[in-house]
């Protein structure tokens, strides 16, 4: 469990941002991951009283406040109506309902964890993040940015008529994925995001006229994979070939 | 840090360590139904209801219950005892250590889902681990409990 000298429930984003400029300050999300470490903080910054726990639908996008829980995302009727089953599918394997009532989308996306299910799907959907100082940043850029002292305020899922499928392979139910794949089609292009390689999710764009199997093979051949206790690099590359094909076919059938 | 919240129907104002896990805080207030299990957010044993939703108290900071309604099994004894009877009748508890967390999550499920299917039940309770029963007897007990609740 982490320890902290000061615990501040922020009354504004400006206050939270100022507090977070100190190197040993930490912004708290759902704390599911943070509690597993032994970090010693000077100030723990709690954003839970800033109204960031709402999902709102705008003309161009859905806005997910940083403190929205994974369970809110899983059960939100507007997200399900627009994006279909992929939203619920990307979080429903994460531990259990009780955990998903604690874990926040801000914590999951800010962490840019390799194992993150939402990061993988949201990357394929063309999501954006809103940072308090840096403003709106494409998730595709944010995913490779170094950690800094900014604060993630909101995650935006643009409404571009996406059709997406999300598939994973897990060694056991509720565990981290061995590999996670999201394939998303819009009017302009089809992209695939592959996460849990176990590095952070990365995108591959499908070429015009490229056959499904060729696309799946290219994903497996061009992305890098590594080994850990859940699987070897070779196993992950093999899974990638299978899961990309499966997800791509799923959205073609629809 | 001073917080105000409702615990099992009673309004409480207390000076707390804000970063203390809720499990420890609730036990310090005599809620011993809230068990320490894995303490890694995996087993579901420490489940309590916050504003009616099941959460892992091992992963919830005490500061986060300010202004909320918290329920533990101490405040839901008749409902918990009824579910416990179904679990016992079906041989669904052996060591029984996981039962408090499971029962709290079953109560959370009955509040959130109407007429859950078998898959709904399995998915909702996937975060409650039991190392004795293999879950079949638990599912049988839950189905019977829900069916008789529906009839009543």
Contact A174 B47 (CB under 8 A): no
Could you give the residue ranges of the DSSP H alpha helices within A5-47? 13-19
Distance from CA of A7 to the nearest CA of B (A): 7
Q: Are B105 and B65 contained in the same domain? A: no
Count structural domains, chain B.
2
Q: Are B69 and B24 contained in the same domain? A: yes
Q: Are B91 and B141 contained in the same domain? A: yes
Give CATH 3.30.465.10 domain extents, chain A: 55-158
Residues 194-253 of A with CB under 8 A from B: none
Q: Does residue A254 register a pLDDT over 70? A: no
Distance from CA of B85 to the nearest CA of A (A): 23
What does the pLDDT average to over A57-64?
Answer: 98
pLDDT at B146: 96
Q: Looking at chain A, which residue has its C-alpha nearest residue B16?
A: A7
B87, exposed or middle or buried, with CB in 10 Å at 0-12, 13-18, 19+?
A: buried
Query: Across the interface, which of B18, B47, B64 has its CB nearest the CB of A98?
Result: B47
In sequence order, the 6+-apart residues with CB closer than 8 A to the CB of A139 are: A109, A119, A122, A123, A126, A127, A128, A129, A155
What number of other Cβ atoms are within 10 A of residue A28's Cβ?
27
Select A163-253's CATH number: 3.40.1010.10, 3.40.190.10, 3.30.390.50, 3.30.365.10: 3.30.390.50
Q: Which of A91, A69, A87, A66 is nearest to A78 (CA)?
A: A87
Q: Is the dihedral of CA B124, A47, A67, A185 positive or negative?
A: negative
Within 13 Å and on the Cβ side, how many CA atoms surround A210? 18
Q: Are B142 and B84 contained in the same domain? A: yes
Q: Could you tell me what percent of chain A has a pLDDT over 70?
A: 100
User: Between chain A and chain B, how many beta carbons pairs sit less than 8 Å apart?
Assistant: 81
Q: Is the dihedral of CA B45, B49, B50, B52 positive or negative?
A: positive
Tens-digit pLDDT profile for chain B (152 aa)? 999 999 999 999 999 999 999 999 999 999 999 999 998 999 999 999 999 999 999 999 999 999 999 999 999 999 999 999 999 999 998 899 999 999 999 999 999 999 999 999 999 999 999 989 889 999 999 999 999 998 88
Q: Are B141 and B87 contained in the same domain? A: yes
pLDDT at B138: 95
Whichever domain contains B146, its CATH number is 1.10.150.120
CB A43 within 8 A of CB A4: yes
Q: Looking at chain A, which residue has its C-alpha nearest residue B45?
A: A98
Q: Which residues of A touch B2 (CB under 8 A)?
A: none
User: Residue B102: which domain range?
Assistant: 76-151
Q: Are B64 and B19 contained in the same domain? A: yes
Whichever domain contains B57, its CATH number is 3.10.20.30
**3-state SS assignment for residue B151:** helix
The helix or strand, by DSSP H or E, that contains position A222, with its residue range, turns out to be helix A212-222
Q: Are B120 and B134 contained in the same domain? A: yes
CB A131 within 8 A of CB A153: yes
Test the B interface: residue of A8, A76, A96 with most B CBs within 10 Å? A96
Q: Are B86 and B47 contained in the same domain? A: no
Q: Which residues of B touch A46 (CB under 8 A)?
A: 18, 61, 63-64
Q: Which residues of B touch A4 (CB under 8 A)?
A: 19
Q: Are B83 and B147 contained in the same domain? A: yes
Could you please state the CATH topology (level 3) that the domain comprising A55-158 is classified under. 3.30.465
- Residue B16 CA to residue B24 CA, distance in Å, equals 11
Q: Looking at chain B, which residue has its C-alpha nearest residue A36?
A: B40
Q: Does residue A129 register a pLDDT over 80? A: yes
What does the pLDDT average to over A46-61?
Answer: 98
Within 13 Å and on the Cβ side, how many CA atoms surround A239? 26
Contact B56 A99 (CB under 8 A): yes
Q: Are B85 and B24 contained in the same domain? A: no
Give CATH 3.30.390.50 domain extents, chain A: 163-253
| Mean confidence (pLDDT) of chain A | 96
Q: Are B87 and B33 contained in the same domain? A: no
Q: Are B25 and B59 contained in the same domain? A: yes
Give A202-241 pLDDT, tens digit per residue.
999 999 999 999 999 999 999 999 999 999 999 999 999 9
Q: Considering the entire predicted model, what is its pTM? A: 0.96
């Amino acid at each position: 469990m982490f320890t902290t000298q000061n615990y501040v429930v922020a009354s504004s984003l400006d206050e939270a941002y100022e507090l977070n400029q100190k190197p040993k300050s930490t912004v708290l999300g759902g704390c599911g991951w943070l509690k597993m470490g032994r970090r010693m903080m000077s100030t723990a910054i709690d954003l839970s009283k800033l109204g960031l726990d709402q999902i709102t639908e705008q003309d161009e996008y859905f806005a997910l406040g940083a403190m929205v829980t994974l369970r809110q995302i899983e059960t939100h009727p507007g997200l399900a109506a627009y994006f279909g089953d992929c939203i619920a599918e990307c979080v429903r394997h994460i531990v259990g309902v009780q955990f998903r009532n604690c874990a926040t989308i801000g914590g999951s996306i800010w962490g840019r964890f390799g194992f993150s299910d939402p990061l993988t799907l949201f990357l394929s959907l063309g999501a954006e993040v809103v940072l308090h100082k840096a403003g709106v940043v494409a998730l595709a850029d944010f995913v490779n940015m170094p950690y800094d002292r900014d604060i993630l305020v909101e995650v935006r899922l643009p409404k571009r008529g996406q059709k997406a499928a999300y598939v994973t392979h897990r060694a056991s139910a509720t565990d981290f994925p061995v590999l996670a794949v999201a394939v998303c089609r819009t009017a302009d292009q089809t992209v695939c995001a592959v996460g849990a390689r176990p590095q952070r999710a990365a995108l591959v764009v499908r070429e015009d006229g490229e056959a499904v199997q060729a696309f799946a093979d290219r994903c497996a051949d061009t992305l890098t994979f590594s080994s850990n206790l859940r699987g070897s690099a070779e196993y992950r590359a093999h899974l990638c070939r299978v899961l990309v094909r499966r997800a791509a076919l799923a959205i073609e059938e629809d | 840090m001073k917080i105000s919240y409702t615990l099992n129907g009673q309004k409480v104002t207390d000076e707390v360590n804000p970063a203390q896990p809720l499990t420890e805080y609730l036990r310090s207030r005599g809620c011993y139904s809230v068990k320490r299990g894995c303490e890694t957010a995996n087993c579901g044993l420490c489940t309590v209801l916050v504003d009616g939703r099941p959460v892992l108290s091992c992963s919830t900071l005490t500061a986060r219950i300010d202004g909320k309604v918290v329920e533990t099994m101490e405040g839901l004894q008749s409902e918990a005892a009824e579910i416990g009877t179904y679990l016992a009748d079906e041989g669904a508890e052996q060591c029984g250590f996981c039962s408090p967390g499971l029962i709290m999550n079953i109560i959370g499920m009955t509040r959130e889902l109407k007429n859950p299917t078998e898959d709904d039940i399995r998915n909702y309770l996937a975060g409650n681990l039991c190392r004795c029963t293999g879950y079949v007897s638990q599912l049988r007990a839950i189905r019977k409990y829900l069916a008789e609740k529906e009839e009543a």
